[in-house]
Amino acid sequence: MEMESLLKCMNCGHTTSILQERLFRCPKCSGLYDVQHNIPKRTPQNWMELFDSRPHSAQEPSGVWRFKEWIMPFLPKEDIVTLGEGIVPIVPIGANLKLWLGKPCDAWLIMEGKSPTNSFKDFGMTVLVSVAKAAGIKTLVCASTGDTSASLAAYTGKAGIKCAVILPSGKITPEQILQAKILGATVITLPGSFDDCMQVLQNLVSDYGAYPGNSLNPARIEGHQSTVFLTAQFFGWKFPDWFVNPVGNGSDCSSIGKALRLMKSIGFKAESRILGSQSEAANPLFTSWQKSGGIKTTREKWETFYNPTHVGETIATAMRIGNPVSYLKVIREIIASNGGMTQVSDQEAREAVLACALDGHFVCPQSGVALAGLKRALNDRIIKPRERVVVVSTADGLKFTKPFQHCSEENIINAPDCHTKTIAEILNL
């Protein structure tokens, strides 16, 4: 086995073993951990040749583990738990979305909703569950009703590891848990609040040897780096001017930034900037960024101005997060990339989803927040005309149909009779 990757506290520098850690908060200062690898030394040319020699094939069925040397180099191959994640289209935006954006730009979507469980979570979960398998874990637990629990259920199922989802009784809908249940999660409801569930989960981890599937675990960040690796490879190892992504807990900002810093340190011209987009209903990172100076802020200023916010209602339900656990990582990476933040209304996010759908791609409301963020940034001249932009589409539209259900009943044309001539006239034929 190669030298094991370590966890290092981003605040005080304390290090610990990635295979031993369970709580994923520094015991000395409660800081967040980064994963530190022992990556072999090669030239950029060597790396490009290595990864280009691994197209999608029976030998390399995953678009995440194609980049294993950058993601979790020490992990024994037999511990990899893969479902074929990272094999996703990257597509140019179409004419309707261009029209809606109103300004010229060379924008592409990376369709991470075409993952095994239809959300970007799979990019990270394949790594978390693989590390858990290497660590000999028998039970993973989480407390999400959405994409995280579905993804966790899928990967633990594949690994033969038990998975439990702990939820407050009477506060969940059947739709919220259908996917996780079918994928084999044990669902336990408690007679209490969501906070009670989180407390029980914490106790199961600290006192009973359970392993948390939540986003404090930085192994997930490592997998999400593939967004950058796949994109760079797709463009012949050229980098877009911007990555734009929706920011809830901010794991994508953290991972895109980490991947860019890694590639720069190796010698790539990885000069992409990161734009984080939040919903106006849950905007702690945008608000503090703006108050602290906007595009001219510094890491220190932004951290000083940061405060959790109350969250309101939004169609981007997966982003209703008033205090992102990894906000310090988001701030670090956006500043390091010379990037920025924006925020959008539900109306803008909805318009973006509908324009994108007219071009053939039905994406989730969170992807709509990212696309609408691109429009704002073009209007605010943060993103310049004709720059190349890659927008992260985090989940498939079919996972989040509720905000668009009215579409199926509006504007249906009820013909008065069955004469072909009538229909031809309706269609202007």
Under rule CB under 8 A, which residues in 229-258 are in contact with a second copy?
A: 233-236
Cβ 133 to a second copy, closest distance in Å? 13
- Mapping DSSP to helix (H, G, I), strand (E, B) and coil, where does residue 267 land? coil
- Considering only residues 192, 267, 312, 385, which one is a binding residue for a second copy as defined by CB under 8 A? 192
Per the CB < 8 A criterion, the answer to whether 73 and 39 are in contact is yes
Does 84 sit near a second copy (CB under 8 A)? yes
Cβ 421 to a second copy, closest distance in Å? 9
Per the CB < 8 A criterion, the answer to whether 373 and 247 are in contact is no
User: In sequence order, what are the residues at sequence separation of 6 or more whose Cβ sits closer than 8 angstroms to the Cβ of residue 288?
Assistant: 302, 305, 306, 307
Does 99 sit near a second copy (CB under 8 A)? no
Per the CB < 8 A criterion, the answer to whether 368 and 228 are in contact is no
- Considering only residues 127, 154, 315, 371, which one is a binding residue for a second copy as defined by CB under 8 A? 154
Does 112 sit near a second copy (CB under 8 A)? no
**Judged by CB under 8 A, how many residues of this single chain contact a second copy?**
99
Does 396 sit near a second copy (CB under 8 A)? yes
Does 207 sit near a second copy (CB under 8 A)? yes
Six token digits for residue 227? 């967004």
Strand partners, 91: 109
Does 50 sit near a second copy (CB under 8 A)? no
Cβ 83 to a second copy, closest distance in Å? 5
Does 204 sit near a second copy (CB under 8 A)? yes
Per the CB < 8 A criterion, the answer to whether 28 and 20 are in contact is no
Is 348 buried (19+), middle (13-18) or exposed (0-12) by CB count in 10 A?
buried
Report the residue number, 52 or 300, with the smaller CB distance to a second copy: 52
- Considering only residues 39, 216, 266, 354, which one is a binding residue for a second copy as defined by CB under 8 A? 354
Binding span for a second copy by CB under 8 A among 33-41, 218-226, 297-305, 359-367: 359-367
Report the residue number, 167 or 285, with the smaller CB distance to a second copy: 167
Six token digits for residue 428? 């202007």
Q: Which of residues 397-426 bind a second copy (CB under 8 A)?
A: 397-399, 401, 404-405, 407-420, 423-424, 426
Per the CB < 8 A criterion, the answer to whether 169 and 190 are in contact is yes
Does 130 sit near a second copy (CB under 8 A)? no
Cβ 229 to a second copy, closest distance in Å? 13
Cβ 189 to a second copy, closest distance in Å? 5
Residue type, 69: E
Report the residue number, 210 or 369, with the smaller CB distance to a second copy: 210
Binding span for a second copy by CB under 8 A among 20-28, 93-101, 302-310, 312-320: 93-101
Residue type, 420: T
Please provide the DSSP assignment of 341-404 as one string. Answer: EEEE-HHHHHHHHHHHHHTT--B-HHHHHHHHHHHHHHHTTSSPTT-EEEEEE-BBGGG--GGG
Binding span for a second copy by CB under 8 A among 39-47, 69-77, 107-115, 316-324: 107-115
Q: How many CB atoms lie within 10 A of CB 179?
A: 20
Does 387 sit near a second copy (CB under 8 A)? no
- Considering only residues 99, 178, 198, 295, which one is a binding residue for a second copy as defined by CB under 8 A? 178
Give the distance from CA 317 to its chain's centroid: 14
Outline where 117-250 has alpha helix (H).
121-134, 147-159, 174-182, 194-208, 219-224, 226-234
Q: Which of residues 285-324 bind a second copy (CB under 8 A)?
A: none
